[in-house]
């Protein structure tokens, strides 16, 4: 598939999507997860699935934990973020109490969980006011239970639109929350293979590196222009090939955040990553731009594998 787009300057560029390559990459990534190949052999590799102390699987408390954590999951180290929210839940003694806290109580709660608001993009983005607004909406429209967001519909697009009405929930975060709610069983969809994954910096960079996505000519491009096309492509692949979207989302994120982030061919080979990326394109800190002319991966062969 070839699509012509324009920059604000009027300059045209083309994005080329290789669906067959996307199918191949998706299957390989999911198989790596299913076979529990490193780093998937470590249960903590997907941090949002680690429950806070005293919280049961499938409970209201788990639904609230994920609702709060995913809402803050932006330009932060995921392991640190989810650990921080687990500590926040522990500090509150009962996650349901957070629903009734005022601004001062929430501020004190965040102050007691050091680093929770720290973002890789700089500044201290403590989301107290966001939590207040979202608590008000959650109580008023969904009876203080985020599981009710998924009730009375089996349409993933409708659920995502409901989630997006909350503060700080763009499409990516909404898709991430939906994925987790599907995994736990809070959301029952009409087709469990048909819902969008979150296309983040890792998925975008891997798609470019593996040839699923090609941009002509090479240069600097806004990621927000590219993400919707990849999101649509991977949704089609999951639906048509009956690939579990949650497994695809988890596998791509883990590979990107645990293997690709090392930026060394030797590490890719040692970890036996099957994706065969050509490049590791540079992106800015916020993930707003991708530079297709800049390969950040060091092409150093592994000492532990025969070439």
Dihedral sign, Cα of residue 185, residue 172, residue 254, residue 193: positive
Q: Supply the pLDDT for residue 75.
A: 66
Q: Where are the domains of the chain?
A: 2-44+195-295, 59-184
Q: Supply the pLDDT for residue 76.
A: 74
Q: Supply the pLDDT for residue 204.
A: 96
pLDDT in tens, 214-241: 999 999 999 999 999 999 999 999 999 9
Record the pTM. 0.91
Q: Supply the pLDDT for residue 285.
A: 87
Q: Supply the pLDDT for residue 114.
A: 55
Q: Encoding tokens for residue 215?
A: 């941009």
Domain range 59-184, CATH architecture: Orthogonal Bundle (1.10)
296 pLDDT above the threshold of 90: no
Q: Supply the pLDDT for residue 276.
A: 87
pLDDT in tens, 235-262: 999 999 999 999 999 999 999 999 998 8
Dihedral sign, Cα of residue 47, residue 174, residue 274, residue 279: negative
Q: Supply the pLDDT for residue 239.
A: 98
Q: Residue 104 belongs to what H/E stretch?
A: helix 103-111
How much of the chain exceeds pLDDT 90, in percent?
74
Upstream peptide bond of 217 is cis (omega within 30 degrees of 0)? yes
CA gap 275, 24 in Å, rounded: 9
Q: Supply the pLDDT for residue 116.
A: 59
Q: Supply the pLDDT for residue 186.
A: 97
pLDDT in tens, 94-121: 999 999 999 999 988 888 775 554 444 3
5 pLDDT above the threshold of 60: yes
Taking residues 15-43, what's their average pLDDT? 96
58 pLDDT above the threshold of 70: yes
Which among 4, 28, 1 has a CA at the least distance from the CA of 232? 1
CATH code assigned to 2-44+195-295: 1.10.1670
Mean of pLDDT over the chain: 90
65 pLDDT above the threshold of 90: yes
- Most confidently modeled of 66-80, 111-125, 128-142? 128-142
């Amino acid at each position: 598939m070839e699509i012509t787009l324009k920059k604000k300057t009027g300059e045209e560029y083309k994005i080329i999507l290789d669906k067959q390559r996307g199918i191949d990459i998706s299957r390989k990534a999911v198989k790596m997860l299913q076979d529990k190949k490193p780093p998937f052999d470590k249960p903590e590799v997907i941090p949002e699935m680690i429950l806070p102390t005293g919280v049961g699987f499938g409970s209201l408390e788990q639904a609230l934990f994920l609702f709060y954590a995913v809402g803050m999951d932006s330009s932060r180290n995921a392991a640190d973020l989810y650990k921080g929210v687990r500590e926040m839940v522990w500090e509150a003694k009962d996650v349901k109490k957070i629903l009734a806290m005022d601004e001062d109580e929430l501020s004190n709660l965040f102050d007691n969980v050091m680093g929770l608001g720290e973002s890789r993009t700089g500044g201290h983005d403590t989301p107290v006011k966001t939590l207040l607004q979202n608590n008000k909406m959650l109580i008023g429209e969904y009876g203080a239970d985020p599981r009710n967001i998924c009730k009375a519909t089996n349409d993933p697009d409708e659920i995502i639109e409901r989630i997006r009405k909350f503060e700080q929930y763009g499409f990516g975060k909404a898709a991430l929350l939906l994925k987790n709610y599907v995994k736990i069983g809070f959301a029952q969809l009409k087709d469990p293979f048909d819902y969008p994954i979150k296309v983040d910096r890792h998925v975008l960079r891997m798609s470019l590196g593996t040839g699923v996505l090609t941009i002509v000519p090479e240069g600097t491009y806004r990621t927000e222009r590219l993400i919707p096309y990849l999101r649509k492509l991977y949704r089609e692949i999951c639906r048509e090939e009956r690939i579990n979207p949650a497994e695809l989302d988890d596998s791509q994120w883990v590979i990107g955040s645990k293997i690709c982030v090392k930026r060394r061919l030797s590490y890719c080979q040692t970890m036996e990553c099957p994706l065969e990326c050509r490049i590791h394109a540079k992106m800015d800190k916020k993930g707003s731009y991708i530079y297709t002319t800049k390969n950040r991966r060091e092409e150093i062969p592994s000492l532990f594998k025969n070439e």
